[in-house]
Chains A and B, each alone.
Chain A
Amino acid sequence: MVLNIVTPNKKLLVDKEVCEVVVPAHRGELTVLDGHSPLITTLDIGVLKYKETESSDYQNFAISWGYCEINANKIEVLAEKAESSAEIDKARSEKALKDSEDKLDNFKDLGAEDLAKYMNKMKRAITRLSITK
């Protein structure tokens, strides 16, 4: 099956031949193998990984919101942001994590909107850090 990943800024993967894809779907991780039934799901902040062949290692991408359409052995992923482990700025993610944690320490002062904003920020930072060495 083939995998496409598209973001507003570029086409990340075009018709990449893969054997297994794990996406951070709406209700938790979703593993897609050959012959999956047609499905549309939104993607949450999380890690998307794929394997080219049975024996190869997982390739990781940090994803913030997106959706995924599976149809006839073709997986279309549209993500707002998708970064490979090599692209991630570790220092920046660490700083973002610390910032959001500091803000969330005083969560009582935050409005609902800000709370969601910093929760998401923290989630993104954790995701990014989880796939960097």
Chain B
Amino acid sequence: MASLKDIKLRINSVKNTQQITKAMKMVSAAKLNRAQDNITNLRPYAKGLLGVIADVAATKRVQHPLLSQHPDAKNVLLVVVTSDRGLCGGFNTSINKYAETYLKENKDQFSQLDLLLIGKRSLDYFNRREVESLDSILNLAKDISYEMSSDIADKLIKYFLDGDYDEIRFIYNEFKSVLTQELTVETILPIDLDKSAFDESSEEKFSKDLIFEPEAKDIIEVLLKKHFAVQVYRILSESVAAEHAARMTAMDNATSNAKEMISSLTLTYNKLRQAAITTELTEICSGAEALKG
């Protein structure tokens, strides 16, 4: 049986941990707010960009390599998005496990299926399993910026246009709400405009007599690249928001677990203390009785 002193020590250490988890929860809550702001702030830009791409595409019926679909893609690049830090529940594990099974199941279907890892957690995971990856991008921990995402986007576009891969898919956690993150697999290259852009372009825009400067086909190239960068930024922002949400929930659970633990330990502590006092009293009483006798 643990002594009173041991229990006291346990209680103190659990209290310390609780303080840490509480603080981490607060920090995540603040960071989550910022990440959510990022997503909301990006929307008007993304929407404007998509609108103008639709305009240009509708008036000029442009074709572009970035838009060309490959029905039977042979070389696929998987981009796995995780975080740099742990302590966020199942956030990273679910992604890594999913990516691993995806890799195993689809290996035969494609002639090439490579991984590009974003975040330290996936790098560690696949390194431990000795799975080779094409490249890895770390240090997302600080605020992700649009510049950084556009660098990543440029890299991916280069792979795609050089013909190394015919399809680029992202595996990431989509931020649904504070309590839920949804594991999502999304093909982002080639860009599929049919889904997103054309239902928004209305009839009147077709007849618009627009002046293009430079030529429409040059404009569309830049616009598509920017659109892609925005998509990458959106995915990374979603993932960061989901990470903070997951960490917040995990830390909230940890804090309440710690609270439970403290109360049960305190109960044991008090019982033990009471027992010690009772024993001592009985001893004194019986001692006194014996002297009287």
For A33-54 the 0/1 string (1 means CB < 8 A from B) is 0000111111000000000000
Residues of A within 8 A of B152 (CB): none
Q: Contact flags (1/0) for A16-38 with B, using CB distance below 8 Å?
A: 00000000011100000000011
Contact with B along A65-107 (1 / 0, CB 8 A): 1010101000010101000000000000000000000000000
Contacts of A111 in B (CB 8 A): none
Name B205's closest neighbour in chain A (CB-CB). Answer: A71
Interface contact A39-B211, CB-CB below 8 Å: yes
Interface string of B16-45 (1 = CB under 8 A from A): 000000000000000000000010011011
Q: Are B55 and A8 neighbours in the complex by a CB distance under 8 Å? A: no
Among A6, A38, A65, A71, the residue within 8 A (CB) of B45 is A6
| CB–CB A40/B44 < 8 A | no
Whether A38 pairs with B210 at a CB distance below 8 angstroms is yes
Tell which of A6, A8, A11, A25 touches B213, judged by Cβ atoms closer than 8 Å.
A25
Q: Is the CB of B49 within 8 A of A78?
A: yes
Tell me if A10 is interfacial: C-beta within 8 Å of chain B. yes
Tell me the residues in window 40-67 of chain B with beta carbons closer than 8 Å to chain A beta carbons: 41-42, 44-45, 48-49, 52, 55-56
| Per-residue interface assignment for chain B, residues 212 to 236, with 1 indicating a CB less than 8 Å from any chain A CB and 0 otherwise | 1110000100110010001001000
Chain A residues lying within 8 Å of B209, measured Cβ to Cβ, are 37-38
Contact A8 B48 (CB under 8 A): no
Which of B38, B48, B208, B226 contacts A76, CB < 8 Å? B48
Does A7 belong to the interface (CB within 8 Å)?
yes
Interface residues on A, range: 20 to 34
B126 at the interface (CB under 8 A from A): no
Residue of A nearest to B213 (CB): A41
- B146 close to A (CB within 8 Å): yes
Contact B48 A78 (CB under 8 A): yes
Contacts of A11 in B (CB 8 A): 41, 44
Closest partner residue, chain B, to A77 (CB atom): B48
Bound CA–CA A103/B219 (angstroms): 30
Q: Of B45, B150, B214, which is within 8 A of A78 by CB?
A: B45
Instruction: With both chains docked as a complex, state the minimum distance between the C-beta of B150 and any C-beta of chain A, in angstroms.
Output: 8
With A and B bound together, what is the CA distance between A80 and B41 in angstroms?
13
Let me know if A56 is at the binding interface, CB within 8 A.
no
Q: What are the residues of chain B within 8 A of A27 when measuring CB–CB?
A: 213-214
Return the contact of B219 from the options A7, A42, A71, A76 (Cβ within 8 A): A42
> Does B44 lie within 8 Å of A67, measured CB to CB?
no
Closest to B210 in A: A38
B214 close to A26 (CB less than 8 A): yes
Whether A40 contacts B212 in the complex (CB less than 8 A), given A67-B223, A69-B52, comes out as yes
A65 and B226 CA atoms in complex are apart in Å by 10
Q: B52 — which chain A residues lie within 8 A by C-beta?
A: 40, 67, 69, 76, 78
Beyond A39-B210, A39-B211, A39-B212, 4 additional pairs, beta carbon < 8 A: A8-B233, A9-B38, A37-B211, A41-B219
Binding site for B on A (CB under 8 A): 6-11, 25-27, 37-42, 65, 67, 69, 71, 76, 78, 80
Task: Give 5 nearest A-B pairs by CB, closest first.
Answer: A41-B213, A39-B211, A8-B146, A8-B45, A6-B44
5 contacts between A and B (CB under 8 A): A6-B48, A8-B233, A39-B210, A41-B213, A78-B45
